[in-house]
Amino acid sequence: MSWHDVLRTLDPRHKRLLALGASLVVIWVVFDLLSGGLFFSPRNFYNLAVQSSTVALLTVGMVLVIITRNIDLSVGSVLGLTGMVIAILQIEVFPAAAGWNWPLTLAIGLIAGTLIGLWQGFLVAYVGIPSFVVTLAGLLIFRGLTFEISQGQTFSPFQAGYRIFGGGQQGSLGEAASWIVGGVALVVLLGALARRLRSGEASLPFTLLGGLFASALTLFMIYQFNAYDRPRTDLGYGIPSPLLLLTLAATWIGLFVNRAPVGRHVYAVGQNLEAARLVGVPVRRVVLKVFALMGLLCAVGAVITTSRLNAGTTNLGTLLELNVIAGCRHRGRFPRRRPGLDPRGHPRCLCHPEPRHRHGPHRGEQLPPPDPHRIRPHRRGVGRPYRRPQVLRSP
Model pLDDT, residue 58: 93
Confidence of residue 229 (pLDDT cuts 50, 70, 90): confident
Residues 6+ apart with CB under 8 A from 156: 87, 91, 310, 311, 312
> What is the C-alpha radius of gyration for the chain, rounded to an integer number of angstroms?
24
Please check the confidence at residue 7 and state whether its pLDDT lies above 70: no
User: Which of 305, 347, 355 has the alpha carbon at shortest distance from 329?
Assistant: 355
CB atoms within 10 A of CB 237: 25
Which range of 278-292, 340-354, 364-378 scores highest in mean pLDDT? It is: 278-292
Q: What is the mean pLDDT of residues 113-135?
A: 93
H, E, C per residue of 304-349 = HHHHHHCCECCCCCCCHHHHHHHHCCCCCCCCCCCCCECCCCCEHH
CA distance 76 to 57: 12
CA distance 158 to 162: 7
Model pLDDT, residue 255: 84
CA distance 60 to 249: 8
Question: Residue 272: helix, strand or coil by DSSP?
Answer: coil
Between 7 and 67, the higher pLDDT residue: 67
CA distance 61 to 294: 5
Confidence of residue 123 (pLDDT cuts 50, 70, 90): very high
Between 58 and 196, the higher pLDDT residue: 58
Please check the confidence at residue 71 and state whether its pLDDT lies above 80: yes
Between 198 and 365, the higher pLDDT residue: 198
DSSP state of 360: S
Question: Residue 11: helix, strand or coil by DSSP?
Answer: coil
CB atoms within 10 A of CB 148: 11
Q: What is the mean pLDDT of residues 202-208?
A: 73
Please check the confidence at residue 135 and state whether its pLDDT lies above 50: yes
CA distance 392 to 395: 9
Element (H, E) at 106: helix 101-122
Q: Where are the domains of the chain?
A: 35-171+240-337, 172-238
Please check the confidence at residue 348 and state whether its pLDDT lies above 70: no
CA distance 283 to 10: 35
Between 207 and 161, the higher pLDDT residue: 161
Confidence of residue 292 (pLDDT cuts 50, 70, 90): very high
Would you give the distance in Å from CA 244 to the centre of its chain? 13
Task: Decide: 53 and 303 in contact? Cβ < 8 Å.
Answer: no
User: Which of 134, 133, 140 has the alpha carbon at shortest distance from 117?
Assistant: 134
